[in-house]
Amino acid sequence: MKQVNVIGLDQEGTKVLARRLNALLSNYQVLYMNVRGFHWNVRGERFFELHAKFEETYNDLLLKIDEIAERILTLGQKPQHSYSTYLQESTIAEATNIVEGRECVQSLLEGYKILIRLQRELLDAASELSDEGTASLMGDYIKEQEKTCWMLTAYLD
């Protein structure tokens, strides 16, 4: 007989899902720091436009970081909280010494592509577990970030 957690989901399945959410959290944390760096260091004729956009972006990423960590807790597991772990587990690489606007935007776009791929995988895994809460969160993120990718691509064209 399967054991269920406090929200009625399979205990073992939620452990696996939480590990995957922690990997997603690591990617969000690295992207968040990348975008903070873009905000601080971007230079050039589009400075004002990009400086503001990067601030909007890192504030949004920070909200999602908190939501992901709280979802992990809701599943009865613990969110990771060390940068050394984030760097180890993240597929998104640290972006250092990037100051040119187009390069910042391209790096951000690549980060979103990784997040969307991971979130689609999590959406499938959550659906298999009948975890509507995680599936809904991932679906919301995917929808929003697909539009953002379109806009970033249009900016780069």
pLDDT digits (tens, 9 = 90+) for 46-70: 999 999 999 999 999 999 999 999 9
Dihedral (CA of 34, 81, 60, 129) sign: positive
Q: Half-sphere exposure (CA, 13 Å, Cβ side) for 101?
A: 15
Tell whether the model's pLDDT for residue 4 goes beyond 90: no
What is the SS3 assignment for 9? coil
CATH of the domain at 33: 1.20.1260.10
Domain presence at residue 1: no
Task: Count how many domains the chain has.
Answer: 1
Q: Is 104 inside any structural domain?
A: yes
- 5 domain-assigned: no
DSSP states of 11-65: HHHHHHHHHHHHHHHHHHHHHHHHHHHHHHH-BSTTHHHHHHHHHHHHHHHHHHH
pLDDT of res. 1: 67
Question: What is the pTM for the complete model shown?
Answer: 0.96
Residue 3 located in a structural domain:
no
**Could you give the CA distance from residue 72 to residue 68 in angstroms, rounded to a whole number?**
6
Give residue 84's domain range: 11-156
Mean pLDDT for the chain overall: 97
Which residues fall within 8 angstroms of residue 145, CB to CB, at 6 or more apart?
Answer: 112, 115, 116, 119
Q: What is the pLDDT of residues 116-132, one digit of tens each?
A: 999 999 999 999 999 99
End-to-end CA distance of the chain: 56
**Is 6 domain-assigned?**
no
